[in-house]
Amino acid sequence: MDITGKITGIKYDILLSEELGEIDINEFNINKAPSAFLLKDDKNLFAVSTWVSPKRTRSYPFERVYNTLKLSKKITVIPIVKDEGKNGDRDYIQWDTVSLMSLLDVFVIVAFYDKAIAHSTDNKKITEQQFNNDYIISKIKEIEKYHSSALHWNLNELNENLPDVIDKVKTSYEKIEKETGVQLHSIKGLDDFKIRIGKDVSHFMEFSREKSENAQRRESVTVQPKESLSTDSKAKITIENYLGGKYYFTVDETFLSGQKLDLIERKHSATALLPSKSDIKDGLLKMILYSNLSDVTVNGKKIKSEAVLCLTSPHICGEMTSSSSDKDIEVFLQENEFSLSQKQLIKTVTKEANQNKFIIQIKFSK
């Protein structure tokens, strides 16, 4: 099933975000800060999130970004490359990640690590990598004076700054390799990355799309251990914005009925009564996208679509949706003996779904 859609603008009310702690920029160290926080100076207040890897599937980066989306000026710090050593992964930032942040009006600081230690049990890996804090502060100060959109900032950073950051990555990882005695991946890979993306942002787009489309094809035939699928198999979806930026995702499930397509993001817990709040927020970021889709097609044919966030567990009795009556929801909550915090979580997520016109399903699944 080939699914496409367009996003011309984002309208969404955030309800489940956390209250963020505040840090003064004069006392700021990105490596000691929480994963999402407020950063203030004399004139500005930013909501900042950090990624521990450029890979979207690690450490819930979407949850971190979600927690910052209420504020008008949002920044996210993403390592351009993370090399974990010869026995570990080396992940690169993807065009679609930056494009998604632009769509959400989030300023991206493409950062680099310059400190690490050898792994305690694997002498071919490094750990506890730390960002260059001075560089990040300098970029925040640039954003303070920047009066255009996050989209323009992000495109400019990719066009003008990416090759220079890659050079900093090379220098830093060579230093880390000498200091730790741990062999890292070949520098040639970084040189190739720089060559492929350095001439023009379109080269970076193509390089990233090749990688993400390959990953998408692999994921579309793979069920992750935490996922429990009950209906249609995974399907690929390509989302295009008004600038032609494309986002390649794999929808956990799709359900086509007549002229309506359900785009289902599933979060499953095998052990708990509900998936974690982090998992749910990760799913909500997809709902921001899917609930704002227009001009959806399936195999070239235009069709209506609805976004669905499905929360499942083998310990749940019965099911409810965000369109269930208040009485039916109360019965469901009582029958499953949810805790007070779980009840509040369900009610908040249900309210967020109703306000943003997508569906929440909570039901049994093995």
Q: Is the pLDDT of residue 222 over 60?
A: no
Q: Cα–chain-centroid distance for residue 51?
A: 9
The ranges assigned to domains in the chain are 31-217, 225-364
Q: What is the mean pLDDT of residues 291-310?
A: 96
Q: What is the mean pLDDT of residues 194-210?
A: 70
**What is the sign of the dihedral through the CA atoms of 308, 309, 314 and 316?**
negative
Q: Is the pLDDT of residue 243 over 90?
A: no
What's the pLDDT band for 212 if we cut at 50, 70, 90? low
Element spanning 359, H or E: strand 359-364
Strand partners, 50: 77
Strand partners, 115: 130
Looking at the chain, list the stretches that DSSP marks H as alpha helix, in order from N- to C-terminal side: 61-66, 95-103, 133-144, 150-156, 162-180, 187-198, 201-219, 277-290, 326-335, 340-356
Q: What is the pLDDT of residues 140-185, one digit of tens each?
A: 999 999 999 898 899 889 888 888 999 999 999 999 999 999 999 9
Helices vs strands, H then E, count in the chain: 10, 19
pLDDT over 90 for what percent of the chain?
A: 69
**Distance, CA of 240 to CA of 30 (rounded, Å):** 33
Q: Is the pLDDT of residue 313 over 60?
A: yes
Element spanning 364, H or E: strand 359-364
- Beta carbons within 8 Å of 253's beta carbon, 6+ residues apart: 229, 230, 231, 232, 233, 234, 262, 264, 266, 310
In the chain, the amino acid numbered 342 is Q
* Whole-prediction pTM: 0.88
What pLDDT is stored for residue 244 in this prediction?
Answer: 72
What pLDDT is stored for residue 349 in this prediction?
Answer: 98
Q: What is the pLDDT of residues 264-287, one digit of tens each?
A: 999 999 999 999 999 999 999 999
DSSP class of 104: T
Q: What is the mean pLDDT of residues 215-220?
A: 54
Specify whether the CB–CB gap between 219 and 234 falls below 8 A: yes
Q: Is the pLDDT of residue 230 over 50?
A: no
DSSP of 111-138: E-EEEEEE-SS-TT-EEEEEE-HHHHHH
**What is the sign of the dihedral through the CA atoms of 66, 68, 73 and 78?**
negative
Specify whether the CB–CB gap between 73 and 107 falls below 8 A: yes
Tally of CB atoms within 10 A around 26: 9
Secondary structure in 3-state letters for 297-319? EECCEECEEEEEEEEEECCCCCE
Q: What is the pLDDT of residues 318-355, one digit of tens each?
A: 999 999 999 999 999 999 999 999 999 999 999 999 99
Longest dimension (CA), the chain: 65
